[in-house]
Amino acid sequence: MSDNVIKFRKPVPPKQPRPGLRKLVVALCVVAAFALAWAYFAFIAPGGL
């Protein structure tokens, strides 16, 4: 066939975002925030608190 013929193809659908991965990242951020708060009060904060 000729190279100047337009080939009509169905476009590749975009990848759907994975909601499970987002929930995992949010959960890890929450756990990290609690860990940092605990470390602050356990090691850095003055004893009077």
- Domains of the chain, by residue range, sit at 20-44
The answer to whether residues 41 and 49 touch, using CB atoms and an 8 Å cutoff, is yes
The H-assigned helical ranges of the chain are 19-39
pLDDT reported for residue 1: 55
User: Residue 39 is encoded by which pair of tokens?
Assistant: 């470390």
Q: Over the stretch 1-43, which tens digit does the pLDDT of each residue have? A: 567 888 899 999 998 888 899 999 999 999 999 999 999 999 9
